[in-house]
């Protein structure tokens, strides 16, 4: 398999145009903090792509910040949902950081490996199973059955269910951006889909 190159030239801090500066400062000074900047010197995740459209970048940055840091979902619930979405899209640049966050949040390494491989994990918690099944069905089929919806609603309530579905949609958005532009895997990281660092699907 080849190793496709990033389709854009990374924008480092010294390359910023005046209208892009608020994007950089907003991310670096926000709740993501230093994690907003990759070790290679450009913005993490989809934001090196989005900085080329500052208004979209700022809107996406704020939405992502709310969904990751300001909802009533727990870190474990968020990271489980994110992993399911990222594994569905096999979004290479998104997997390494969220794999680490998920394990940090208490999701077992075995469950993470199963999600990466497209297998349904065996969870110790029925709550994890409900979230996994709802998000998996949503991204796989583009809809949610009455059974999955009822189980998730009973567990989460309306507000947290809205937040879970919104979070899942946001990571679909970021995943397709990362893959369309072939954003590379962070230096020193690997993905579980049999590809070399920097590869994307196909």
Give domain status of residue 122, yes or no.
Answer: yes
Torsion of CA 33, 104, 72, 62, to 10 degrees: 30
Give domain status of residue 66, yes or no.
Answer: no
Per-residue pLDDT, 199: 43
Give domain status of residue 85, yes or no.
Answer: yes
Per-residue pLDDT, 75: 95
Range of the domain at 84: 73-177
Per-residue pLDDT, 34: 83
pLDDT digits (tens, 9 = 90+) for 124-156: 889 999 999 999 999 999 999 999 999 999 999
Question: What is the CATH classification number for the domain harbouring 80?
Answer: 1.20.1290.10
> In order along the chain (202 residues), what is the average pLDDT of each group of 10 residues?
74 96 92 86 94 96 94 96 96 91 94 94 91 97 97 98 98 95 88 57 38
User: For 13-125, where are the alpha helices, taking DSSP H only?
Assistant: 21-28, 47-50, 54-69, 75-89, 95-104, 109-117
SS3 (DSSP) at 12: strand
Cβ–Cβ < 8 Å for 83, 98: yes
Per-residue pLDDT, 200: 39
Give domain status of residue 129, yes or no.
Answer: yes
Give domain status of residue 41, yes or no.
Answer: no
CA distance linking residue 84 with residue 98, whole number of Å: 10
Cα–Cα nearest to 87, from 166, 199, 11, 172: 172
Give domain status of residue 99, yes or no.
Answer: yes
Per-residue pLDDT, 196: 44
Per-residue pLDDT, 189: 85
CA distance linking residue 69 with residue 75, whole number of Å: 9
Q: What is the pTM of this model?
A: 0.90
Cβ–Cβ < 8 Å for 139, 172: yes
Count of the separate structural domains present in the chain: 1
Per-residue pLDDT, 124: 84
Give domain status of residue 171, yes or no.
Answer: yes
Fill in the DSSP letter of residue 199: -
Per-residue pLDDT, 190: 85
Give domain status of residue 144, yes or no.
Answer: yes
CA distance linking residue 136 with residue 106, whole number of Å: 19
């Amino acid at each position: 398999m080849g190793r496709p190159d990033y389709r854009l030239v990374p924008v480092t801090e010294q390359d910023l145009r005046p209208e892009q500066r608020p994007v950089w400062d907003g991310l670096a000074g926000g709740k993501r903090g230093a994690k907003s900047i990759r070790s290679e010197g450009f913005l993490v995740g989809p934001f090196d792509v989005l900085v080329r459209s500052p208004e979209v970048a700022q809107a996406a940055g704020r939405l992502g910040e709310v969904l990751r840091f300001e909802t009533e979902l727990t870190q474990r619930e968020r990271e489980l949902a994110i992993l399911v979405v990222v594994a569905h899209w096999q979004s290479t640049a998104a997997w390494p950081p969220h794999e680490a966050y998920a394990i940090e949040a208490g999701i077992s390494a075995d469950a993470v490996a199963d999600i990466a491989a497209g297998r349904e994990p065996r969870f110790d918690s029925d709550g994890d199973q409900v979230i996994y099944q709802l998000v998996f069905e949503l991204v796989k089929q583009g809809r949610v059955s009455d059974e999955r919806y009822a189980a998730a609603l009973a567990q989460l309530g309306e507000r947290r269910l809205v937040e879970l579905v919104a979070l899942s949609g946001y990571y679909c958005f970021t995943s397709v951006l990362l893959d369309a532009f072939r954003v590379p895997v962070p230096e020193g990281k690997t993905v579980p889909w049999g590809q070399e660092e920097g590869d994307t699907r196909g």
